[in-house]
Amino acid sequence: MKMNTLEIKLGEKSYYIYIESKCLEEVGRYIAKNHPRSRTAIITDDNVNALYGKKLQTIMAEQGLETIVISVRPGEESKSLENLKDIYEKLSEFKLTRADLIVTFGGGVVGDLGGFAAATYLRGIPYIQVPTTLLAQVDSSVGGKVAVDLPWGKNLVGSFYHPKAVFIDPELLKTLDRRTFRGGLAEVIKYGCIRDEKILEELMKYRDEATLLARIDSIIYRCCSIKKSIVEKDEMDFGDRMLLNFGHTLGHAVEKYFNYKSYTHGEAVAIGMAHITRNSEKLGITEKGTSVRLEEVLKKFGLPYQTPEMDRSAVEEAIFLDKKSAGDSISLIMIRKFGEGFIVKVKKGDLEKFI
């Protein structure tokens, strides 16, 4: 099968992203060729397992690969130390070794949780990402960030641990519920805001989500290309890679404030992007009219853009635990106009102006 490919060039940690409908079928062949005689632990969630678990196991069995499936409950709550401990237990019972393999098969939660298990079990097991949601396909499966949450905040325990390959099959998006698909579009919109205005122009041209889904592979490719260029320049998130967190500083605080129940990650990011852009526009930092145009894109795809009422001290506490916080300042991501994201270091005492 001829696939669209991108190479993330990171020296010895380099790997390919394969983007093609039905490329799930290629995962078994890839493992048999590149990781012969390895045993594979598939980490997934109950929803994905019910839809595609047997299919992936069959694909692996056809290549003579021995597998085990470890399935967790869907949702952000699964990114916990308790679930991580259960995964370690099952990997131990399966007698997985460093010569074996982990496949993360699911959305962002599964990719983060399974990837962190791969990074830490036996000090590192090779793994492959097979993302099944739009959010994971355009963003979280690429770049090597893996993590679990703590009661005090999101992704507070994590690592940079790159997969050996990423297989992105847009066919898997056809079984997504509408809300989950739209949540992924928030990350697509983010890429348009920080780097490529044409992505937003293209989104506004589609008459409905079915038309968009039919052409989603090209959008996935463009988003992954942007992430590739940023990650290659700043693998460890000390500079330009922070741009990928546009909308996330407030977004993570919104998720935590409502206990990860009222808003999906994408919805919270949409709120964060709209909120900071309204404020940066009022301060004369962002081109006039940008916030209204951003709200139009979000509205078209049913994403929230109004900030809910929250207790200020609780929000500030969550924000100050943000990984972009250092000393008495925090790095905020803003846009001058569509396609031009930039980083501003803000004193914590001045945070209220922006958020």
Same domain, 196 and 344: yes
Note whether residue 181 is domain-resident.
no
Note whether residue 183 is domain-resident.
no
Check which CATH number belongs to the domain holding 35 and give it: 3.40.50.1970
Same domain, 16 and 90: yes
The mean pLDDT value for 327-338 works out to 92
Residue-wise pLDDT tens digits, 49-96: 999 999 999 999 999 999 999 999 999 999 999 999 999 999 999 999
Same domain, 132 and 156: yes
Phi, psi angle pair for 149, to nearest 5°: -95, 160
Q: Is the pLDDT of residue 338 over 70?
A: yes
The mean pLDDT value for 124-148 works out to 97
Q: Is the pLDDT of residue 2 over 60?
A: no
Question: What's the pTM value of the predicted model, to 2 decimals?
Answer: 0.94
Same domain, 194 and 338: yes
Q: How would residue 334 be classed by pLDDT, with cut points 50, 70 and 90?
A: very high
Q: Is the pLDDT of residue 160 over 70?
A: yes
Note whether residue 244 is domain-resident.
yes
Query: What CA–CA distance (Å, rounded) separates 331 from 233?
Result: 18
> Considering its fold, how many domains does the chain have in total?
2
Check which CATH number belongs to the domain holding 234 and give it: 1.20.1090.10
Least confident of 22-36, 93-107, 321-335: 321-335
Q: What is the per-residue pLDDT for 144?
A: 96
Q: What is the per-residue pLDDT for 324?
A: 66
Same domain, 53 and 27: yes
Mean pLDDT of the chain: 95
**Residue 162 belongs to domain spanning:** 4-175
Q: What is the per-residue pLDDT for 218?
A: 94
Same domain, 230 and 156: no
Both tokens assigned to 303: 């994403």
Residue 87 and residue 29 in contact, taking contact as beta carbons nearer than 8 Å? no
The residue behind tokens 């490919």 is 5
Residue-wise pLDDT tens digits, 228-264: 999 999 999 889 999 999 999 999 999 999 999 999 9
Query: What CA–CA distance (Å, rounded) separates 117 from 105?
Result: 13
- For residue 3, count CB atoms less than 10 angstroms from its CB and return exposed for 0-12, middle for 13-18, buried for 19 or more: middle
The mean pLDDT value for 29-50 works out to 96
The mean pLDDT value for 294-318 works out to 95
